[in-house]
Amino acid sequence: MTGYEAEKPSEISFGAFRLLPAQQLLLEGDKPVHLGSRARDILVALLERPGQVLSKQELLDRVWPNTFVEEGNLKVHVAALRRALGDGQAGRRFIANIPGRGYSFVAPVDRGLVLGDVDRQIEAIEARQDLPMPLTRMVGRSDTVAALSAQVTRQRFVTIVGAGGIGKTTVAVAVADTLAGSFKDGVRFVDLAPLSDPLLAPGALATVLGVGVGSERPLPNVITFLREKHLLIVLDNCEHVVEAAARMAEDVLKGAPRVHILATSREALRSEGERVHRLAPLAFPQSGTELTAAEALAFPSVQLFVERAAACLDAFELGDAEAPLVAEICRRLDGIALAIEIVAGRVDTFGIAGLAARLNERFSLLLRGRRTALPRHQTLHTTLDWSYDLLPELQQVVLRRLAVFAGMFTMESASAVLADGDTPPSEIVDAIADLIAKSLVTASLDAAVALYRLLDTTRAYALVKLDECTEHDRFARRHAEHYRALLEQAYGKWEREPATDWLPRYRHNIDNVRAALDWTFSPIGDVATGVALTVLAIPLWFHLSLTRECEERVDRALAAPETSRTLDQEMRLHAARAWSLMQTKGLGSETMAAWHRALETSERQENRDYQLRALWGLWAGLLNKGEFREALALARRFSELAASAGDKLGILVGDRMVGYILHLLGDQAEARHTIERMLGRYEVPVIGAQLNRFVFDQRAMARCFLARILWLQGRPKQAVLLVKSIVDGAASGNDTLTLCQVLVHAACPVALFVGDLPLVEHYVSMLIDNAAEGLGFWQGWGRCFRGVLLIKRGDLDGGLAELEAALAEFREIQYGVYYIVFQSEFASALGRAGNIAEGLAAIDEALVRSEQNDERWYFAEILRIKGELILSYSAPDGSREAELYYHRSLEWARRQQTIAWELRTAASLARLWKDQNRAGEALALLAPIYDRFAEGQDTHDLMVAQELLQELRASS
Specify the long-range contacts of residues 944-951, CB closer than 8 Å, at least 24 apart. Answer: 944/907, 945/903, 945/906, 945/907, 948/907, 948/910, 948/911, 948/914, 949/923, 951/914
Distance CA 934, CA 553 (A): 54
Q: How far is CA 464 from the centre of its chain?
A: 29
DSSP-assigned letters across all residues of 615-634:
HHHHHHHHHHHT-HHHHHHH
Distance CA 507, CA 546 (A): 12
Cα dihedral across residues 603, 607, 611, 613: positive or negative: negative
Higher confidence at residue 76 or residue 652? Answer: 652
Distance CA 709, CA 716 (A): 10
Strand extents, DSSP E, 39-107: 53-55, 95-98, 102-105
In this structure, the dihedral spanned by the alpha carbons of residues 604, 606, 608 and 611, taken in order and rounded to 10 degrees, is 10
pLDDT at 134: 57
For the whole prediction, is pTM greater than 0.85? Answer: no
Is the pLDDT at 80 greater than 60? The verdict is yes
Cα dihedral across residues 243, 248, 254, 257: positive or negative: negative
pLDDT at 264: 92
pLDDT at 376: 46
Which CATH architecture is the domain 3-112 placed in? Orthogonal Bundle (1.10)
Distance CA 811, CA 813 (A): 5
Distance CA 14, CA 141 (A): 25
Give pLDDT tens digits for 702-724.
999 999 999 999 999 999 999 99
Picking from 5-9, 29-33, 184-188, 676-680, which range would have the lowest pLDDT averaged per residue? Answer: 5-9
CA distances 51 to 7, 40, 98, Å, are 18, 18, 12
Percent of the chain with pLDDT over 90: 44
Give the residue-averaged pLDDT of 195-223: 76
Q: How far is CA 449 from the centre of its chain?
A: 25
Which residues lie closer than 8 Å to 581 by C-beta, 6 or more apart? 551, 588, 590, 591, 594
Which residues lie closer than 8 Å to 734 by C-beta, 6 or more apart? 545
Work out the pLDDT band at 945, boundaries 50, 70, 90. very high
Give pLDDT tens digits for 159-188.
999 877 788 888 998 899 888 888 888 899
Strand extents, DSSP E, 43-85: 53-55
Which residues lie closer than 8 Å to 45 by C-beta, 6 or more apart? 54, 58, 59, 62, 63
What H or E segment, with its residue span, contains residue 242? helix 242-255
pLDDT at 112: 64
Give the residue-averaged pLDDT of 353-371: 57
Radius of gyration, CA atoms only, the chain: 37
Strand extents, DSSP E, 266-300: 275-278
Is the pLDDT at 791 greater than 80? The verdict is yes
What are 368's strand-pairing partners? 379
Return the ∠ at Cα 279 (arms to 275 and 282), rounded to 5°.
Answer: 160
What are 157's strand-pairing partners? 261
Q: How far is CA 606 from the centre of its chain?
A: 43
Mean pLDDT value across the chain: 84
Domain 775-857 falls in which CATH fold?
A: 1.25.40
Is the pLDDT at 360 greater than 60? The verdict is no
Identity of the residue numbered 433: A
* Number of neighbours of residue 23 by Cβ within 10 angstroms: 16
Q: Are the folds of 3-112 and 775-857 the same?
A: no
Is the pLDDT at 265 greater than 50? The verdict is yes
For residue 411, give the 3-state DSSP assignment. Answer: helix
Distance CA 116, CA 124 (A): 14
Give the residue-averaged pLDDT of 298-312: 81
Distance CA 277, CA 268 (A): 9
pLDDT at 313: 67
Distance CA 88, CA 80 (A): 13
Identify whether the C-beta of residue 898 lies closer than 8 Å to the C-beta of residue 712.
Answer: yes
pLDDT at 194: 65
Among the four given CATH numbers 1.10.10.10, 1.10.3720.10, 1.10.10.60, 3.40.50.300, the one describing domain 382-470: 1.10.10.10
Distance CA 37, CA 77 (A): 10
pLDDT at 114: 40
Best mean pLDDT range from 199-213, 384-398, 782-796? 782-796
Percent of the chain with pLDDT over 70: 86
Identify whether the C-beta of residue 79 lies closer than 8 Å to the C-beta of residue 35.
Answer: no
pLDDT at 610: 94
The 3-class secondary structure across 496-565, one letter per residue, is CCEHHHHHHHHHHHHHHHHHHHHHHCCCCCCHHHHHHHHHHHHHHHHHCCCHHHHHHHHHHHHHCCHHHC
Picking from 3-12, 62-71, 603-612, 665-674, which range would have the lowest pLDDT averaged per residue? Answer: 3-12
Give the residue-averaged pLDDT of 443-452: 74
Which residues lie closer than 8 Å to 370 by C-beta, 6 or more apart? 135, 341, 345, 377, 378
Count of residues making up the chain = 956
The CATH number of the structural domain formed by 128-278 is: 3.40.50.300
Identify whether the C-beta of residue 908 lies closer than 8 Å to the C-beta of residue 868.
Answer: yes
Domain limits of the chain? 3-112, 128-278, 293-370, 382-470, 696-769, 775-857, 877-956
Give the residue-averaged pLDDT of 138-151: 86
* Number of neighbours of residue 71 by Cβ within 10 angstroms: 10
Identify whether the C-beta of residue 439 lies closer than 8 Å to the C-beta of residue 264.
Answer: no
Give pLDDT tens digits for 537-546.
999 888 777 7
Cα dihedral across residues 411, 412, 413, 418: positive or negative: positive
Give the residue-averaged pLDDT of 823-852: 94
Give pLDDT tens digits for 494-539.
888 887 788 888 988 988 998 999 999 999 999 999 999 999 999 9
Work out the pLDDT band at 373, boundaries 50, 70, 90. very low
pLDDT at 166: 82
pLDDT at 338: 75
Identify whether the C-beta of residue 237 lies closer than 8 Å to the C-beta of residue 192.
Answer: yes
Is the pLDDT at 382 greater than 50? The verdict is yes
pLDDT at 846: 93
Instruction: Please tell me what DSSP assigns to residue 379.
Output: B
Q: How far is CA 750 from the centre of its chain?
A: 31
Q: How far is CA 163 from the centre of its chain?
A: 25
Q: How far apart are the first and last CA of the chain?
A: 100
Which residues lie closer than 8 Å to 669 by C-beta, 6 or more apart? 897
Give pLDDT tens digits for 880-915.
999 999 999 999 999 999 999 999 999 999 999 999
pLDDT at 686: 72
Is the pLDDT at 2 greater than 70? The verdict is no
Distance CA 293, CA 298 (A): 9
Higher confidence at residue 317 or residue 244? Answer: 244
Give the residue-averaged pLDDT of 663-672: 95
Provide the b/e sequence for 708-723 (b: ≥16 CB within 10 Å).
bbbbbbbbbbbbbebb
Is the pLDDT at 341 greater than 80? The verdict is no
